[in-house]
Amino acid sequence: MNVPNLKPKDFTSDVTPVWCPGCGDFHVLMSITRALAELGRPPEDIAVISGIGCSSRIPAYTNCYGFHGVHGRSLSLAAGLKIARPDLTVLAMSGDGDGFSIGGNHFLHACRRNVDMTYIVMDNRVYGMTKGQPSPTTEPDWDSALSPGGTGLSPFHPLVIALASGANFVAREFSGNIKGCTKTIVEAVNHPGFSFVEILSPCVTFRPDEKEWKNQVHGASVPETDDPARAARRIMTDDGMNTGILYRGQRKPYFASVKNTFGEIAPLERAFEV
């Protein structure tokens, strides 16, 4: 059911965020509540599911149903919920450490399964909550107290992985562009299947260099496509700071093709009796 005239504050809880002043996640929260107001579904029709990390505090700051899960498991929780309750709008939230390291395998298979939900990863290329370790998306030469001289490791490329694994909607935004983030989140939720949005969200405490992102992000010069081959070609020229929707696929969502999801347990138990 759609409710007219919903406002972002209708989706905001009375819990005060504990993020550091200037953290990009404040802007992501604003974009999410604006997008939800625009989508027009009441808070009780929406579930916000997260893992562990600074960004994963988001469920507490919204007025929707929420679940602050365990490390790397936001997608498995969210997929189970969406399959059991297809009537809900389900958003899964994560950070780059939580989502691409511990949750990396879940990411691959969530893209492949194509359950109809939206996955938003606040990527700051660092483990913020545990005080600044390099994450899977950290640049190889990022020099810090915990990685002197840099890790020398090639970063994980979330958009490449999402596209290659079968995500049905792939986009990147910058947290400081609230209008762009809001629009892309609305599009991601409305698109059937598994939608992935990477939001570059600076960690001002452990990566103060990321304050420069506002001067470095730029709209992609190539329009979005529904052709995975064209999307792959565009990704190959990606400098990591391109923003906008990259790919909007046509695969049918998982739940639409599954019959008899709720089977009887007793016959199954009997089949496994020894």
Q: Applying CB under 6 A, which residues contact ligand SF4? A: 19-20, 23, 25, 54, 124, 128-129, 203-206
Is residue 174 within 8 Å of 217, Cβ to Cβ?
yes
Residue 19 partner contact from Mg ion, ligand SF4, none using kind-dependent CB cut-offs of 5 to 8 Å: ligand SF4
Three-state secondary-structure class, residue 246:
strand
Strand 117-123, strand 194-200: pairing: parallel
Residue 136 found at the interface with Mg ion (CB under 5 A): no
Nearest Cα to Cα of residue 68 among 79, 52, 80: 52
For residue 67, what are the β-bridge partners?
49
Quote the least distance from Cβ 24 to ligand SF4, whole Å: 7
Nearest Cα to Cα of residue 58 among 27, 21, 35: 27
Residue 51 found at the interface with Mg ion (CB under 5 A): no
Quote the least distance from Cβ 181 to ligand SF4, whole Å: 16
Residue 173 found at the interface with Mg ion (CB under 5 A): no
Q: Could you tell me which stretch among 119-127, 159-167, 179-187, 214-222 binds Mg ion (CB under 5 A)?
A: 119-127
**Of these, 64, 90, 92, 96, which contacts Mg ion (CB under 5 A)?**
96
The alpha carbon torsion through 250, 244, 126, 154 (nearest 10 deg) reads: 70
Quote the least distance from Cβ 232 to Mg ion, whole Å: 26
H-helix or E-strand containing 90? Answer: strand 89-95
* Residue closer to ligand SF4 (CB basis): 76 or 94: 94
**Which residues of this chain interact with Mg ion, rule CB under 5 A?**
95-97, 124
